[in-house]
Each structure stands twice: as structure tokens, then as C-alpha cells.
Amino acid sequence: MAPLLFLRVFLPFALGYFISYFFRNVNAIIEADLVGDLGFSAASLGLLTSVYFISFASFQLPLGLLLDRFGPRRTESVLLIFAALGALIFSMAESLSGLILGRLLIGFGVSACLMASFKAYVLWFPPDRLPLMNGLQMVAGGLGAMSATVPLRTALEFTDWRGVFLILSGLTLFSALVLWLVYPEKEGSAGPVPMKKQLEGLKTVLTSRPFLAIAPLVMFSQSAQMAIQGLWAKPWLRDVAGLDEAECANHLMWMMAAMMAGFFLLGLLSERLYQARKISPVTVGVSAMAVFIVLQLLMALGWTAQPMLLMTAFSFFATAGILPYAGLSQIFPKDLSGRVSTSLNLTVFLGAFAVQWGLGEIISLWPTQGKGYAPESYGAAFGSLAVLQLFGLLWFIVLNAMKHKAN
């Protein structure tokens, strides 16, 4: 592929996902400001953060149909307008209900930012390049997440969280315009397909053994990454590791850097292993997700001897859950690629909603301690989450063992 064409395909989606990831992680930094301004409890904060995931998740199956019917450019460009509106509403809200409405629209509006890019890459790149391309897309998201750490904290010295969301509203509109004007449509990539045929394809995906085997583990693993890194990492660093606000922001920034490294390096490793030995990205992803579970257990046990090492390793291996997207896309036909990715993403974001809210509820069971939460509450919350992932890993192992036995 010519460099200019590569940039026209990659950069518009990278910008959209940069913004999407900033939206996802922004509450981790403005958490104290929201609590100070509006007096939220841990449960309310968890609910506010999690509604992003429920609106995001609820649109995934329709999104897959839209991507396969209308293509990634038109689908994502229109949806980003809703995200811009949501950011505007969030910036002006004076109550929890107003903030929730804004957050719901943001989640709905950015719901295509990752899946549309995956659909575009399936259309433009050969199968063996997909793990790396997906990894590069996630790096763009990681840059957005990193921007929601120290740079955001610095920006808050010049404006407040309302000003930040007002700027985000304008930037999101700009991203929609860039995508609409720059991305080249792939001939034959979109067109009228009977709804009955689209639904039959969706059923094929949802009932396939490869999808059913990996979905629970990916759901719980990615939910953990989104919930902890998107909100609870900073409170854990403050309340368990004993770090101050500046140290927390610095740790979060390095976590985002480790996340970007994980997306790129694990994607590159997966590509090379597939090319050299035909080892599926699913296999690489499951192995790394097992390490990720161990790291969460260390957090649950309150291991704080090396918080920077623990949290950067957490962020690096948290990226493993993205590899099965490429692995499943290699199995199914291109015309099902949108539905494959969005079906898996549906499980992830439904899980993220439940996990984010659930962690807040568990942590709220303990009395607050000053401006923070009880250290033992994190052990119960993170430990429960690790157990769910262990069940997902066991499910994957059992279903694959049954498959090999049948063969």
C-alpha cells in the first residue's frame, strides 16, 4: 500500500479513537473535581463512569450491521456528532442526571471509533497484517489515554473540567469532518444487503465455537482494564500505595505509555508468530491475559513494594484482550467482519458497565476514610474481578479441549 493511501486509511480513524479513549479515561483525573463540586459518592461516581459503557455496548450489534451495510466512514462520521453533543451537555450539566445524559451520548457517539477502524483495516489490509494494524490503532487510543493524565492535570490549572469538555466537543466535530473528507471508500465495501441475510450472518458469528470460547475471557479481561485504568487505578494508588495527587498523575501517565507499548509490541509479536508458525492471535492473547490476572491478584493483595512496576506491567498485559479481535477476523469472511468485531465488543462493554458499577458498589461497602476509600475495599473488589477472569480462562480451556477431543 502506498504511504499516502496508508495515512488516509489510518489517520482519520486514529484521531477518532484518540478522542474516544480520552473520553473513556478522563474521569480518572477529574474524579476529585466532580466529587468536590457535586458531592458524589463512590457508587455515584462508578455509575456516572459506567453509563458510558452501557450506551456504548447497547449499540454494538446494530453498529455491526451498519458497518457491513454502509461502511466505516459514513457510520463513524455521523455517530461522532452525537459524541460532540454529549460533551457539550456534560460541560453545562449541574446535576448527576445531566452528567449521565451527556456521558450516555458520548458513549453512543464514540461506539464506532474502534470497530469502524477494524472494519476499514479488514477491507484494506491482508489478514496477516491485522494484528499489527489493530495494535497501531490501539496505540492511538493509548495516546488519548495518556493525554488524559498529566497533560489533562496541567490543563486543569488553566480551566476547569467544564472547559475541558467544551474543547472536547469541538475537537470531536473536527474529527468527524476529517474522517468524512479524507478516508477513501473501498469499492464494493458497502451496499444494500437484505436484513434477513445480515441477521443470519450475525447468528453465525454468535453461535460459532471460536466466538463462544473466547468471549467470556475477553469480556472480563477488557472490563478489568477499562474499569481499573479508566477510574480506580488512581484511587488505588492514593489509598493503598499512599501516593499524592502529582505522583498518581505521573503513575497514570506511565501506565498509558506501557499500554501503548503493549498494544504495539504484542501486536507485532502476534503478527510475527502468525506469519512464522501460524500461531493464532487468540493463543497469544490468552497467554498474556493469564499474566494479567496474576497482576490483578497482586493489586488485590495490596502489594505496594513497587507500585510503578506493578501498574506499568498491569497496563502492558491489559492490552492482550485486543488480540482475539484480529484472530476472529481471520476466521470469518470479510463481509462478516463488522459483525464479528462488534459482537465481541458488545460482550466487553456490557461487562465493563457491570464491572465498573460493581466495583463502586463493593468499595462503597466500607466507610470512607477522609478523601479516600478503605484499602481493604480494593482487595475485595479487585479480587472478585480476578476470580471472574479465572472462570473465563477455564471456560476457554475446557471448550478448546472439547474441540480437540471431538476432532
**Residues 216, 54: Cα–Cα separation, whole Å:** 17
Q: How many CA atoms lie within 13 A of 114 on its CB side?
A: 30
pLDDT value, residue 305: 92
- Residue numbers of the chain with a pLDDT score lower than 70: 1, 42, 187-195, 404, 406-407
What is the CATH architecture of 3-181+196-406? Up-down Bundle (1.20)
Q: How many CA atoms lie within 13 A of 133 on its CB side?
A: 28
pLDDT value, residue 187: 65
DSSP string, 234-282: HHHHHHTS---HHHHHHHHHHHHHHHHHHHHHHHHHHHHHHHHH---HH
Burial 5-39 (b: 16+ CB within 10 A, else e): eeeebbebbbbbbbbbbbbbbbbbbbbeebeeeee
Domain regions of the chain by residue span: 3-181+196-406
**Residues 291, 310: Cα–Cα separation, whole Å:** 12
> Are the beta carbons of 221 and 321 closer than 8 angstroms?
yes
pLDDT value, residue 246: 85
Sign of the CA dihedral with 138 first, then 258, 173, and 106 last: positive
Burial 225-252 (b: 16+ CB within 10 A, else e): bbbbbbbbbbbbbbbbbebeeeebbbbb
